[in-house]
Structure 1
Amino acid sequence: MYRKQRIIKELTPYVPTAEIFRIYEKEPEAAFLDSSLVNELGRYSVIGKCPYLKLIKDGNIFTVNGKEETEKTFEQYMREYLNTHFDKNDSELPIVSGAVGYFSYDYGRKQMGVPSNESDIVTIPEAVLTFYDCFIVEDCREKRTYLVSNGISGDAETEIQMMEKEILEASESGRKNCNGNAKEEEAHSDKKYEIQVHPNFEKEEYKRAVDKMIRYIIEGDIYIANMTQQLTIESEKPPLDVFYDLRKNNPSPFGGYLDFGDYQIVCASPERFLKMKDHHVNTRPIKGTRKRGATPEEDEQLRQELADSGKDKSELLMIVDLERNDLNRVCKPGSVKVTELFTVETYATVFHLVSDIEGTLEADKNVMDLLEATFPGGSITGAPKYRAMEIIDESEHGKRNLYTGSIGYLTLDGSCDFNIVIRTALHKNGKYHLGVGGGITAESDLEFEYEETLQKARAILDALQ
């Protein structure tokens, strides 16, 4: 639709998006999908600028640019919009036109028809998608940054020139003041914040809930389920400072920062939920975690312990089977394959055991069909999915909201890339909200499961101090 107007220009000299985002971080609807851990998974980082269409699903209310839409549902609007605004991407970049946003776990729960008797711990809309006119896309592996404007909110050439001028001037200014900035950064990093952590489970209470979940498994209701506790954290540290510290000390391939005015999302997720390009679909569930060791020897011992763990492998295998079934609902027969089964991935504070499943989406399906068939991700629900989600609601104290939902982008040429919302802090009304959990099987050890949640919280809690 916007192809004739669109301009894509490589930024010369190269400036990383993490530096560029500091220029635009306080703009309304600031959005940064950040691959701070540069690997095959985290190759691209994306900044969205100049929003022109914002869709919000908040309970029974669906708004388009702030105006309530009563003729169509959120899903109907999205399907129609994607079909009527198809925009082929002839570049090598993952996104040149489209939206950045999130779908909460409770959005998926409602879509699946799973009722909830729990109340909200923090309240934000169930789903938000913001379409942007301009994008700044970094190929983190090749160290090249590109400016994109579609000419929707203004003349494309003017928008490109303005971004280029702002970025290069700020970069030049930064180089001139590098000594002063270094001192300022050092002073910032030395500043410590007191935090108060309020879990919504006492330790023994959490262990009892896990034990009850195990009984459901033994009785045959489910094979595996994910059990979560949520932490409410009092900290005066600004969300942007938390984000920059987190990306520095705990780099991740699927992190990001989204500012929605009265709430902010700070994310350092290691897990991809769904990626699609040219109808080729990929999902990469995580099941199995070990902390990093204090010495190289202990580190290797813990890595090998995870690689050899029968419990973690069986847990991951069950989720792989669930994800295969989900993808088979919308993918071409025979196209769904497991391409990796038990791979150990290394992060700053933990090791994870992961698998990879791929398939080819049916020709008449789009991103919304894919999400409908697979969301929420099986790695953070359990199997069978519907019954596991019923037991989750019965066992946990409060709705999950954003936690274990998905953050990412979808494009107008039919592609998408979404994470699983873990290692993520939601900031609202001066408090941070953090979910932490793990997969429960018949072999689960109550003490280990509780301690694993604390280990998963560590990186975020460190960043909040």
Structure 2
Amino acid sequence: MTGTVQSKLLTRWTDPAAAFAALYASDRYAFWLDAGPNARTGVSYLGAASPTSRFVTASVAEGTVTSRYVQTADAAPPDITHETVFEFLRRDLTVHGDDGPSSHSASQDSASQDSGSQDSASQDSASQDSASQDSASQDSGFELGWVGWLGYELGAQTVGAPVHESRYPDAALLEIDRMIRFDHGDRTVTLVARTSATEPPAIVTHWFHRMTAVLAATPQMPEPACVAPPRASAVPRWRHHPTDYAALVETCLAAIHDGDAYQLCLTNEIRVAGRWHPVDTYGALRAGSPSHHGGLLRFGDVALLSASPEQFLHVGRDRRIRTKPIKGTRPRSDEPGEDDRLKLELQHSDKERAENLMIVDLMRNDLGRIAKLGTVAVSTLLAVESYPHVHQLVSTIEAHLLPGVTVIDAIESCFPAGSMTGAPKQSAMTILQSLERGPRGIYSGAFGYIGRGGAADLAIVIRSIVLDSNGASIGTGGGITALSDAAEEIEETRIKAAALLAGLGVTAPE
């Protein structure tokens, strides 16, 4: 989609949660990239499909990409091409992408330059304990383009590893030509829209006026979130029960002992029958598990609700790339002394440190394939970030992209994230496919935005709920190393899943 980008700075702050509830709660194709409740830095983005928005899905099994318009009155047949989603995006951004921030500004726009992106580590005050804070002025953020997810099974195309066939699209992306940008540091709200050659200019002007009027009438803060109760028959069911999972851990340990892998990210899935409203459920999830990379993507009958704390890739318009793998977990405690002890235990755990360092090395290698020589650097190593339910070990690796390497090249080169596979990546994925009795689907993939101006910010799909017409699914797992203990690994999966089940109003299974 070509056209001129216009923006309008509003005179009044509105909380993104209140804005989403007022504008998009009933939209079947809508998104909210969320910097977190009570955020004081970072940027949130929200919007919905317009009549000129394409919705794109990919199938690894069929080798196809399907594109269609979801808001048009006529039921035109979809456009199906035989290619990967990365080939589609590379071609689309070449044809329709911007060369840089050259958009035309509407009234009051000079004050609306985006001072950061969703990744700026803006966190609820309850989750800021030792969490790294990124500069909010590193790039101009999302300037329209694509929002969606990339499923784990795309690894069959990027790594050449075997995978199960997913029940969900292997990628789902919504083309965004108008959105609302919330800069939490500046406390500003900006409307952003791209004119289309097929639409009269008055369409965008009307959208500006309508959004301004609705937001002016919207309460500045959202109403308290409440969750629609699940069906009484909803019983969480593990794909691998504890005894089975313990046996899988032992198989992983044997593969590591034999030298087939250094680390294996073994995962599990919980399915829950029932129906939940995506917006209400996400409100409960973000209230209980605030995070700087939260998000709600609602695409038809499937919705991704994420409280992810892990950044997969950030690419700025300055072509600087960053990844922040998380490996190493301890639960939080309500008792301050015990909580400090758990934090120190994580910080000094040989097993957790080794687990993190293996993925740092893997991600350095992934970035090294698409980065300028000598620019790959570990800027933060083994930092402890604390969230409402867990302490985590987080490292940060940065680099500059090689000339000629696109943002899509970078994503394809690094996907799926090493923290969700293990190392070496291809060997780990091959072993895990033989152990995990089903697809991971959206879980373990990535979600966020890919902008037409060359910027991208993608989080890893962890600490997430996927809702569909059959119920809810939750993925959970952990990295298995030579020092792993099966009982401890099982407990880690339970800790990670408990907050997500609470968001559904469901008691965690034993």
Please, what TM-score do these two structures have when normalized by structure 2?
0.84
| Structure 2 counterparts to residues 194-213 of structure 1, below 5 A | 194=232, 195-213=234-252
Confirm or deny: 8 A CA contact 1:109 1:376 kept in the other structure. no
Contact 1:437 1:453 in 2 (8 A): yes
Partner of 1:165: 213
Report the 3-state secondary structure (helix = DSSP H, G, I; strand = E; otherwise coil) of the residue aligned with 1:403. coil
- Residue of structure 2 in register with 1:257 after alignment: 296
Relative distance call for 1:367 and 1:38 in structure 2 (3 A) is farther
Closer, same or farther: CA 149–68 of 1 in aligned 2, 3 Å: closer
1:11 paired residue number: 10
The equivalences for 1:207-286 within 5 A come to: 207-277=246-316, 278-286=318-326
Structure-1 residue corresponding to 2:124:
none
Paired position in structure 1 for 2:24: 24
Q: Which residue of 2 aligns with 1:64?
A: 67
Conserved in 2, the CA contact under 8 Å of 1:49 and 1:135? yes
Provide the aligned C-alpha RMSD in A: 2.1
Structure 1: distance between partners of 2:376 and 2:37: 28
Match of 1:76 in 2: 87
- Give, as a single letter, the amino acid of the residue that structure 2 aligns with 1:409: Y
1:445-464 to 2 correspondence within 5 Å?
445-464=485-504
Which runs of 5 or more residues in structure 2 are unaligned? 69-76, 103-112, 115-139, 506-510
In the alignment, structure 1 residue 95 sits paired with structure 2 residue 98: no
Distance of 1:368 and 1:273 partners within structure 2: 13
| 1:318–1:305 distance in 2 versus 1, CA, 3 Å | same
1:183-239 per-residue CA deviation (whole Å, 9 max, x = no partner) reads: xx58x4696875411001111110010011011111111100100010001344322
Q: Is the 8 A contact 1:196 1:235 kept in 2?
A: no
> Where in structure 2 are the equivalents of 1:376-391 lying within 5 Å?
376-391=416-431
Indicate conservation of the 8 Å contact 2:329/2:393, yes or no. Answer: yes
Q: Given that residues 362 and 424 in structure 2 are in contact (C-alpha distance below 8 angstroms), is that contact kept between their aligned partners in structure 1?
A: yes
* Alpha carbons 1:271, 1:286 under 8 Å: kept: yes
> How does 1:347-386 map onto structure 2 within 5 Å?
347-386=387-426
Q: CA 1:167 to 1:38, structure 2 compared with 1: closer, same or farther past 3 Å?
A: closer
Give the distance between the partners of 1:37 and 1:437, measured in 2 at CA: 26
Deviation at 1:373, TM superposition (A): 0.9
Match of 2:366 among 322, 326, 333: 326
**Which residue number corresponds to residue 43 of structure 1?**
42
| Contact map agreement 1:344 1:354 (CA 8 A) in 2 | yes
Partner of 2:187: 143
Kindly provide the CA deviation profile for residues 428-448 of structure 1, in whole angstroms up to 9, marking residues without a partner as x. Answer: 124101110000000001100
Query: How far did residue 6 of structure 1 move?
Result: 2.3
Distance (whole Å) between structure 1 residues aligned to residue 251 and residue 200 of structure 2: 58
What SS is found at the alignment partner of 1:31?
A: strand
Matched ranges for 1:267-346 at <5 A: 267-277=306-316, 278-346=318-386
Distance 1:426 1:440, change over 3 A: same
Amino acid at match of 2:187: K
Letter in 2 for 1:63: T
User: In structure 2, what is the equivalent of residue 406 of structure 1?
Assistant: 446
Asked if structure 2 preserves the Cα contact closer than 8 Å seen for 1:96 and 1:411, the reply is yes
Post-superposition shift, 1:371? 1.4
Describe the SS at the equivalent of 1:417. Answer: strand
Q: Which residue of 1 aligns with 2:153?
A: 106
Distance (whole Å) between structure 1 residues aligned to residue 485 and residue 389 of structure 2: 21
Matched AA of 1:130? L
Percent of aligned pairs with the same amino acid: 33
How many Å separate the matches in 2 of 1:128 and 1:71? 16
Query: Structure 1 counterpart of 2:211, which letter?
Result: M
| SS in structure 2 at match of 1:414 | coil
Structure with the higher fraction of residues in helix conformation: 1
Change beyond 3 A, Cα 1:407–1:154: farther
1:55 match: 56
1:404 is paired with a residue of what secondary structure? Answer: coil
Specify every segment of 5 or more residues in structure 1 that has no aligned partner in the other structure, as ranges. Answer: none
Q: Secondary structure at the match of 1:102?
A: strand
Q: Find the residue that maps to 1:196 and give its secondary structure.
A: coil
Contact 2:86 2:412 in 1 (8 A): no
Whole-Å separation in 2 of the counterparts to 1:15 and 1:89: 26
